[in-house]
Structures are given as structure tokens and as C-alpha cells.
């Protein structure tokens, strides 16, 4: 699978996949998008002391790295499960420049540790941050009921991978979330929101990151 590095407007890298004509992060700023969509709208919005997180689309590892940064700053214990059926090659992830970003204050070996961590097995990146990477699609994966506090839904765009954004997959996510848990994503497409609602979520449009007017946060309301 051919992939290449692209520098985004905030100076941080994204990865371009010619096969889908798709970027892993917004070209308006990879770090900016990740912090806005997943950290601020998801992790920090929920405010759980020891959250368990599911990421659909590990990709470059940027969302995980920013989550680790937050965990270090707040002295949180975090369990992080990430799905990625097509991991990046070493010649790509070894050249990602996230460690050069002024907005990422994490030691420069953590991203490499994440990418080199054993697949399908929980690995301690730090004493307080456990990463469990699964080389599976969401469709192939089963979860325990009420296993996660937050879901980062960071798959490729619905136009590129419509099967990932199905009502069936959102129903799987709904059951995997704890009551009161949240799912965040950069997409605000109407069919995506309807699929979330069909699965049981309460959805809300909120301001998106630079270059995108809106995004969606979906909540599993407590009964």
C-alpha cells in the first residue's frame, strides 16, 4: 500500500493514501484537528478520572499520543484500545514530525513505542498508559458491553469507507460505551448522524476544527 507524508498548515504531518485519495488528518492542521475533535470534544468533555478509550482508526498514532500527553499532565491512568487493520510502515511512522510540534509536550520516544508495540496484546507505554492495538476492522471486532468511556471515531471519510459508518457499527459502539459515554468524530454528514441516532445515540453538532464548520458528538444517555 503506497503512502506518503504531507505537511499540514500547522506544520504537523499527515499521511496521504493515493488508493483512496484520502489524508489521515486534515490538511488544515493535523495536531489542531486531533486536539479539537478528540481531546477537547471527547476526553476533556467527559472528565473521567481513569478513562478507557476506543479508537477506530489508529493511523499515525497522533490521537493516542495526544491522549498520553493529557494523561501525563493530569496524572491519569488510561487504557487505550485502538483498531487498525492496515498499520503504517516503519519508514513512514519513523519520520512523523509530531514530536517537533510545540503543542505536544511528550517525550520523543513514546510515538515510536506505540507503533512498535506488539499487536493484539496490551502494552504499557508508561506505568499509567496501556495501549492495546488490534489489527482488525470494526466489523470484525467484538467488545464487552459497557467497556469504554470514550470512542474516537477516526475512520476514513464516509464517502471513502461507507461500510465503516453503518448503523450496525454505531450500534456496536453504542453497546460498548458505558452509560453517559461519548463518541466523537470529525464528520457531520446527515446519514452518519441518522445512523448514530438509529443505534441509540443522542447526537449534537458542535463547531468543527479549522477548515470544517461542524463536527458531531454522540452521547449514550443514562437511562
Quick: pLDDT tens for 69-115.
999 889 999 999 999 999 999 999 999 998 776 567 655 589 999 99
Mean of the per-residue pLDDT values of the chain: 94
Overall pTM surpassing 0.85 (yes/no): yes
CA distance 154 to 184: 8
Band of pLDDT at residue 1, cut at 50, 70 and 90? confident
Q: What is the pLDDT of residue 107?
A: 59
Q: What is the pLDDT of residue 47?
A: 87
Question: How many other CB atoms are there within 10 angstroms of residue 48's CB atom?
Answer: 16
Among the residue ranges 89-103, 121-135, 194-208, the one predicted with the least confidence is 89-103
Residues 140-165 have pLDDT tens digits of: 999 999 999 999 999 999 999 999 99
Q: What is the pLDDT of residue 108?
A: 59
Q: By residue range, what is the domain housing residue 183?
A: 4-219
Q: What is the pLDDT of residue 118?
A: 96
Band of pLDDT at residue 171, cut at 50, 70 and 90? very high
What are φ and ψ of residue 50, in 5° steps?
-130, 75
Q: How many folded domains does the chain comprise?
A: 1
Average pLDDT rounded to a whole number, residues 11-16: 95
| CATH value at residue 113 | 3.40.50.150
Average pLDDT rounded to a whole number, residues 61-74: 93
CA–CA distances in Å: residue 115 to residues 21, 42, 54, 60, 174:
24, 23, 16, 8, 28
Sheet holding 22-23, edge to edge: 4-7, 13-17, 22-23
pLDDT above 90 covers a percentage of the chain that reads: 90
Task: Please list, in sequence order, all residues whose beta carbon lies within 8 angstroms of the beta carbon of residue 111, skipping any fewer than 6 positions away.
Answer: 61, 65, 93, 96, 98, 99
Amino acid at each position: 500500500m503506497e503512502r506518503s507524508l504531507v505537511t499540514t498548515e500547522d506544520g504537523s504531518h499527515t499521511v496521504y493514501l493515493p488508493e483512496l485519495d484520502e489524508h489521515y488528518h486534515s490538511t488544515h492542521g493535523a495536531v489542531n484537528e486531533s486536539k479539537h475533535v478528540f481531546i477537547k470534544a471527547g476526553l476533556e468533555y467527559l472528565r473521567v478520572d481513569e478513562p478507557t478509550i476506543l479508537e477506530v482508526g489508529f493511523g499515525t498514532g497522533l490521537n493516542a499520543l495526544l491522549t498520553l500527553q493529557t494523561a501525563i499532565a493530569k496524572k491519569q491512568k488510561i487504557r487505550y484500545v485502538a483498531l487498525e487493520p492496515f498499520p503504517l510502515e516503519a519508514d513512514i511512522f519513523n519520520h512523523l514530525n509530531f514530536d517537533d510540534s510545540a503543542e505536544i509536550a511528550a517525550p520523543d520516544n513514546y510515538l515510536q513505542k506505540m507503533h512498535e508495540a506488539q499487536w493484539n496484546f496490551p502494552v504499557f507505554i508508561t506505568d499509567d498508559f496501556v495501549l492495546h492495538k488490534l489489527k482488525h476492522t470494526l466489523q470484525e471486532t467484538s467488545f464487552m458491553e459497557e467497556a469504554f468511556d470514550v470512542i474516537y471515531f477516526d475512520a476514513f471519510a464516509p464517502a471513502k469507507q461507507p461500510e465503516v459508518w453503518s448503523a450496525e457499527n454505531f450500534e456496536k459502539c453504542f453497546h460498548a460505551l458505558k452509560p453517559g459515554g461519548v463518541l466523537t468524530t470529525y464528520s457531520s454528514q446527515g446519514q452518519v448522524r441518522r445512523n448514530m441516532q438509529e443505534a441509540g445515540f443522542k447526537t449534537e453538532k458542535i463547531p468543527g476544527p479549522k477548515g470544517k464548520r461542524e463536527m458531531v458528538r454522540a452521547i449514550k444517555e443514562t437511562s
